[in-house]
Amino acid sequence: MLVAFSVAPTGDAETGSMHEAVAAAVKVVRDSGLPNRTDSMFTTIEGEWDEVFDVVKRATDAVAAYGPRVSLVLKADIRPGHTGELTGKLERLEKALDSE
């Protein structure tokens, strides 16, 4: 499965700025060893249900240290039996664009 998520502190963040909190979450993701990609809006992670959501929870917990409230947005592509979709979906898109 692929899960794209965005997590950030909300409310009065007294212990740091937004980018520091997001960096803490991204570090959790990168340290997980699961395939991942971060862009300006979301971090996408690929793996099995339990391992992906464990990482999302730990990333959310890391952000919670930066404020009294946390905002979490998730989007999931649940496709059992498929792996390599973090890059595979983009490769198919580029191939379709090249054939136009």
Q: pLDDT tens-digit profile of 32-70?
A: 999 999 999 999 999 999 999 999 999 999 999 998 899
- For 25-34, how does the pLDDT look when each residue is reduced to its tens digit (9 = 90+)? 999 999 999 9
* Token couple for 69: 């409230």
Predicted TM-score of the model (pTM)? 0.86
Show contacts of 29-33: CB within 8 Å, 24+ apart: 29/55, 29/59, 32/58
Task: Tell me the CATH number of domain 2-98, given options 3.30.750.24, 3.20.190.10, 3.20.20.70, 3.30.70.930.
Answer: 3.30.70.930
Domain extent listing, the chain: 2-98
Q: What is the pLDDT of residue 89?
A: 87
Place of tokens 């979490």: 72
